[in-house]
Structure 1
Amino acid sequence: MKGVIFDCYQTLIDIHTEEHSIETYEILSTWLAYQGVKIQPEKLWDTYMFKVKEKMDISREIYPEIKVEEIFSEICRENSIWKIDEKNLGIETARVFRAASIRKLRPFPQSVKLIEQCINVPKCIISNGQRVFSELELRFLGLYDYFDFVIFSSDVGYKKPDLRLFMTALKRMGLELEPKCVMSIGDSYENEIIPAKKLGMRSMHIEEAWKHFELID
């Protein structure tokens, strides 16, 4: 192996969020009140979901992606009761939203050991995640610096299983002419296993990788 591509969530990070819980929007609504944005939790929930769907629908991508901070910037601007810095407030709102929705966030110990097995091999992450908070989670859990680079779908406007994400990773590794020497590891056959095989890469489900390296019983 000359390179390894990892998925992020449910591969490296064990996570559970409640983005569809009214409690999440109650917390966010209360926090926004102190930032000069007046919006009730129910309206905040409905508006957020509507704007996400709207952005997805107008995208020309087959697998469209958004930037949540841009959604929240719009919501803050439309509901502000005093002058705000909508761009920065959108970023902070996205992070508070994530924090309010998190119920579980921890690294898989087996995956940490797996990364260490590949310590001398070029490694990257391709994630259907939002850089605005996902990068911070990787850093907080001590995972970010293991990798040469991280590609987030929010950076490019499309998400896995789009092959372009994997092609970009191969190119950045300098292995675009040697895909058979690169392994893709993740928890989703649709998003990590099948796209990798289409490009001539090797692939393993994360639990298969744990067993292969004898990291679980």
Structure 2
Amino acid sequence: MSQAPVDFTRVRAVLFDCYDTLLDISTDERGLCGYQTLSTWAAYQGVRIAPEDLRDEYRQRIAGMMAQSTEAHPEVRVEEIFAGICRDYAAWPLDETILGVLFARSFRASTVRRLGAFPRSRRLLSALYGYPLGIVSNGQRVFSEVELRMFGLSPFFRTVVFSSDVGCKKPDNRIFQVALRRIGVEPEEALFIGDSMTNDIIPARRLGMQAIPIREAWPLFSV
């Protein structure tokens, strides 16, 4: 193995980003196609809304909540967005809370265009056997947690923190700090692996963690 860019004598836990690090994903939340499918699905649940209106309502409600937030990097919970749409467009009485969760997951299924686990990242997780592992992700637990389970990645991790849990997104320090507390290490005892310099590597290093891009981690561990 070549000279490591990481001092492993200090590492007691490893934290990962999720998307474009562990999971390879592409979505289309702007095009109308996904909303046409979702609008038809919604009609069967008792929510009557045209595809164009559904797209506009979803985007405008998220933008409105973001604008009202005092956070520098605000986050919403999409199941709450969809619960509000269900309430306002209900054709008959329904449980908007439960339906909001189902709506969010159906939305993801309708708008995802590519989804899979990087084989090299899966091998990397196995190579790190013995280290407590965690995830810090700008993601929505309502469907991101399902995606980790879908590809058999959940058992590797002691803790998983999504931005929807915390109410703010990376690069905000707090989302990293939540994961560090849960996994029980200080920043200088953690290694962070991600794909984004802005959201992953720079803020992790600023907190005192060691951090490397995923594409450097793969050859480092010969996976």
Distance 2:83 2:192 in 1: 35
Deviant stretches of 4+, over 3 Å: none
Distance 1:182 1:108 in 2: 22
| TM-score, normalisation: structure 1 | 0.96
Name the counterpart of 1:15. Answer: 25
Which amino acid in structure 2 is aligned with residue 201 of structure 1? Answer: M
2:215 to 199, 203, 207: 207
Asked if 1:197 is matched to 2:205, the reply is: yes
Name the counterpart of 2:123. Answer: 113
**Residue 32 of structure 1: how far off its partner (Å):** 0.5
**Residue 169 of structure 1: how far off its partner (Å):** 1.6
1:131 to 138, 141, 152: 141
Which amino acid in structure 2 is aligned with residue 17 of structure 1? Answer: T
Q: Assess if the C-alpha contact under 8 Å between 2:21 and 2:214 holds in 1.
A: yes
- Alignment deviations for residues 12-61 of structure 1 (CA, whole Å, 9 cap, x no partner): 00111111110010000000001111100001101110000001011111
**Residue 159 of structure 1: how far off its partner (Å):** 0.7
Which amino acid in structure 1 is aligned with residue 139 of structure 2? Answer: G
**Residue 163 of structure 1: how far off its partner (Å):** 0.6
Q: What SS does structure 2 have at the residue aligned with 1:16?
A: strand
Q: Assess if the C-alpha contact under 8 Å between 2:159 and 2:183 holds in 1.
A: no
Percent same amino acid at aligned positions? Answer: 51
Q: What SS does structure 2 have at the residue aligned with 1:104?
A: strand
Which amino acid in structure 1 is aligned with residue 171 of structure 2? Answer: P
| TM-score, normalisation: structure 2 | 0.94
Could you tell me which runs of 5 or more consecutive residues in structure 2 were left unpaired when the two chains were aligned: 1-10
Distance 1:161 1:40 in 2: 36
Name the counterpart of 1:70. Answer: 80
Q: What SS does structure 2 have at the residue aligned with 1:74?
A: helix
Could you tell me which runs of 5 or more consecutive residues in structure 1 were left unpaired when the two chains were aligned: none
Distance 1:213 1:59 in 2: 41
Name the counterpart of 1:59. Answer: 69
**Residue 119 of structure 1: how far off its partner (Å):** 1.1
Name the counterpart of 1:167. Answer: 177
Q: What SS does structure 2 have at the residue aligned with 1:4?
A: strand
- Alignment deviations for residues 113-138 of structure 1 (CA, whole Å, 9 cap, x no partner): 11111110011001100000000010
Q: What SS does structure 2 have at the residue aligned with 1:183?
A: strand
Name the counterpart of 1:33. Answer: 43
Q: CA RMSD in A?
A: 0.8
**Residue 140 of structure 1: how far off its partner (Å):** 0.8
Distance 2:108 2:97 in 1: 17
